[in-house]
Amino acid sequence: MTARGLPGIIGHATLPHEPASPQDGIVMLSDSAVLATTLRSGQNPWPSLNAWRASGGGAGVPIETHIGTEPYFAREVPLATSPAVSVIILRSRDEAFGSYDRVKTAALVALLVVVVAAIWGALTIVKRQL
């Protein structure tokens, strides 16, 4: 299995509603080893599933971590229990919040339009009364 094909395989096999994108980091861990990863050499913060869980991670318990200087959210998707094998999916915090930032920008633009319309309407009413 190549690291290049790993995000697509994991996305189709485990996350049908939220597939792993090519920008996500993927780490496949067993109790004692890294089985596969899309991270560059030296970037993986967990040498094993036990280390992941010792850092506060767990199935259904996303954590925030750093890869280099960039913050990521990491969550576990268990694949097997005996032997324990899980995939840790890392998503850049900026990428994870990107859609919320767009909604926030759209809401601020809409608010600005409403404020300008209210001021224009108030000025129009005042001019008519003079």
Q: What is the DSSP letter of 130?
A: -
What confidence score (pLDDT) does residue 85 get?
Answer: 93
Domain boundaries, the chain: 6-95
What confidence score (pLDDT) does residue 6 get?
Answer: 53
Give CA–CA dist 54/119, Å, rounded: 57
Cα–Cα nearest to 25, from 10, 8, 7, 13: 7
| CA 71 distance to own-chain centroid | 10
What confidence score (pLDDT) does residue 49 get?
Answer: 92
Specify the 3-state DSSP secondary structure of 67: strand
Give CA–CA dist 71/65, Å, rounded: 6
Q: What is the DSSP letter of 47?
A: S
pLDDT in tens, the chain (130 residues): 444 455 554 554 444 444 444 457 889 999 899 998 888 888 888 999 999 999 998 888 888 888 888 888 899 999 998 889 999 998 887 666 666 777 888 888 888 889 988 899 888 888 888 7
| Token code pair at residue 50 | 């036990």
Cα–Cα nearest to 83, from 8, 31, 118: 31
Give CA–CA dist 90/84, Å, rounded: 19
Peptide bond into 7 cis (omega under 30): no
What confidence score (pLDDT) does residue 22 get?
Answer: 47
What confidence score (pLDDT) does residue 96 get?
Answer: 61
**CATH 3.40.50 assigned to 6-95:** no
